Amino acid sequence: MIQIQRVNLIIIIHEKDNKMKRILVLALFAMMFLAVDAQQPQRFGYLNTQELITQMPEYAEAQKKHERFQAEQQQKYQGMVASYQTKAAEYTNGAATLTQTELSMLEAEIQQLQARIGEYEQTLPQIIQNHQNELIGAIVVKVQEAAKAVGEEKGFLYIFDSSVLLYQGGGEDISTYVKNKLGIL
C-alpha cells in the first residue's frame, strides 16, 4: 500500500513538473520576444505645432474670418452704444415736453440698453475666444491626424510637440514629413 501511494505521489509530482516546464517554456518565449523588441530602436519624433499651424493656408483664411467676426462684433457693440446715446438724448431733450409716462417708458428703455451693453461687454471676450477656437480647432485636428499618419508610416513610438518640451536631447524633427502630408511644402 505504501508503494501505491508512492506511485501516486510520483505521478502528481511529475504532472506538476510538466506544468512548470510549460510555464518555463512560455516564459522563455516571452523573454525572447521582449529581447527582440528591445533590440529595435525606439524612434521619437517632434514638431512645433504652433509654427506648423501658422504656415498652413487654412490658418490665413481662419485669421481673415476671425478679423471679420471681430469687426462685426465691434459694429454690433457700437450700434448698441449709439442706440443708448440716442435714447439718452431723447430723454434729456424731451424732459420738458414729454409726459411722465413717456419719460418712464424712455427711462426703462435706457436701463434695458445699459443692461444689454454691460452684458455684451462681459461676454464679448468669451464669444471672440470661442470663435477663434472653433476656427483653429479644425486646423489643429488636421495637424494631429497628419502627425499620427506620419508616426504610423515612419514607425515612431512617440511624437512630441517641441513648443512645450523643456529639454530635447534626441529624437527626430518630423516637421518636413508632416508638411508633406499636409501638402504645404
Greatest CA separation found in the chain? Answer: 128
Sheet of 158-161, strands arranged across: 158-161, 44-47, 172-173
pLDDT at 94: 85
Nearest to 151 by CA among 170, 118, 178: 178
Nearest to 58 by CA among 119, 143, 166: 143
Residues of the chain with pLDDT under 70: 1-40, 166
Contact criterion met (CB below 8 Å) for 61 and 138: no
pLDDT at 1: 46
pLDDT at 43: 87
Cα(158)–Cα(79) distance, rounded to whole angstroms? Answer: 52
Can you give the pTM of this predicted structure? 0.65
Cα first-last separation, the chain:
87
pLDDT at 129: 96
Collapsing DSSP to helix, strand or coil, 40 comes out as: coil
Contact criterion met (CB below 8 Å) for 150 and 181: yes
**Grid coordinates representing 74?**
465691434
Contact criterion met (CB below 8 Å) for 106 and 90: yes
**Grid coordinates representing 59?**
490658418
Q: What is the CATH number of domain 41-182?
A: 3.30.910.20
The percent helix, strand, coil of the chain (3-state, each to 5) is 80, 5, 15
**Grid coordinates representing 129?**
475666444
pLDDT at 40: 62
What letter does residue 56 receive in the DSSP assignment? Answer: S
pLDDT at 58: 94
